Structure 1
Amino acid sequence: MLFRSPTVAQMKLWKEKLGYSGTQMARILGLKSARRWRDYADENKPQGIPPANLFMASAIVTLPPEEIERVLETMRSVGATIDMNSDSPAHDGEQQP
């Protein structure tokens, strides 16, 4: 798979087009906090959004809620715990991306 992350400027433009706050961007990207979004949006230290996070965010803003729920159910069937409305950290103690 070839993946090149969008630039910081492109991510900021996407945020603006969506009309999202930093907290909302962090939520759709699966980031732990708005502070983590600000890290990704820092032009002085560009780090690039990982493909899985960008895929998740793109799906959330593109697909209808029923389709997102179908994917989440598949994740749960594999053994994941996921609640899109919770800000709780991972239960296994690992840092979130």
Structure 2
Amino acid sequence: MRYTPPSPENLQRLKAELGRTGEEMAELFGVAGGQQWRKYTGGAQPREMAPQMLFFGAARLALSDEEMERVLSRMRDIGADIDLGTDPSDRK
């Protein structure tokens, strides 16, 4: 797999386009909180976003509620215990 992560500027632009707070972006991408999210969008040495984190956030933005539930159900079938803890309509 070839992967080049989005730049901090790309992630900042996405945050602005979505009109979300750092906390909301952290929740969307499965990051511990707004402070952790900021590590991907700035500072002297910003972190690179791993492909699985980007995939998770993009899936939450792109998939319908039914499609997302299908993925989560499959994760549960595999043995995971997962609850995204938000109203699915918050993803859009």
Q: Note if contact 1:5-1:50 (Cα within 8 Å) is conserved in structure 2.
A: yes
- Larger RCO: 1 or 2 (CA < 8 Å, sep 6+): 1
Deviation at 1:71, TM superposition (A): 0.4
More helix by share: 2
Residue aligning to 1:93: none
Q: Which residue of 2 aligns with 1:34?
A: 34
Amino acid at match of 1:41: T
Cα-Cα RMSD? 1.2
Q: Which amino acid aligns with 1:76?
A: R
Q: Which amino acid aligns with 2:17?
A: K
- 5 Å-filtered alignment, 1:75-94, equals 75-85=75-85
TM-score by length of 2: 0.87
Q: Does 1:7 align with 2:7?
A: yes
Q: 1:43 Cα shift?
A: 3.9
What is the aligned partner in structure 2 of residue 51 from structure 1?
A: 51
Q: What residue in structure 2 maps to residue 92 of structure 1?
A: none
Count of matched residue pairs? 86
Gaps of 5+ in 2: 87-92
In the TM superposition, residue 40 of structure 1 has moved relative to its aligned partner by 1.2
